[in-house]
Chains A and B, each alone.
Chain A
Amino acid sequence: GEDVEQSLFLSVREGDSSVINCTYTDSSSTYLYWYKQEPGAGLQLLTYIFSNMDMKQDQRLTVLLNKKDKHLSLRIADTQTGDSAIYFCAEIFGSSNTGKLIFGQGTTLQVKP
């Protein structure tokens, strides 16, 4: 089936770490993604992970993938007020790479000074 789920809201203090969680259903997904949407703007790819990896680190971002549990997480270290946005988890649906992205509902990250 096509289902990606995320918690809707997360609030952290500036300087803390943020962890946004996501579960997905399609075990044949080759890539999983994190997109960021700032207010009034389109989505921007933040990072992605290939399905044969467990972890990917990119500066302040760490992506963890647990294929057995179909669980994906995004950790943002030293969260800044500029990180306030909606974060979408997404998977490519199906093993044939048609480009069909299934998005989660988005997690609104609020960073308090």
Chain B
Amino acid sequence: GENVEQHPSTLSVQEGDSAVIKCTYSDSASNYFPWYKQELGKGPQLIIDIRSNVGEKKDQRIAVTLNKTAKHFSLHITETQPEDSAVYFCAAIWGDKSTFGDGTTLTVKP
């Protein structure tokens, strides 16, 4: 089955700096790669996603890049703010099968 590895598990940055979280996957059949933000005590919320036929996607301060050959995709957050502090999860999806990474706890220090 699919295996998704997410790094780093914790990330601490200064406000205004950039943050990068990387995920690698094993099944080349995976074709949809969403990223979720989860705040304490809440369910995950989709922040950005990318399909396998696209290399990069941006939404304001957030971007995702996908390298299908190397089987990895990354989340980039620029100009971080304290409210970006949360746990971020990546996922690799094929059909109705989903595999999530173990999460990255991002702390943005003011």
Whether A and B are associated in the same complex: the answer reads no
Q: Taking beta carbons and an 8 Å cutoff, which residues of B are in contact with A?
A: none
Please list the residues of chain A having a beta carbon within 8 angstroms of any beta carbon in chain B: none
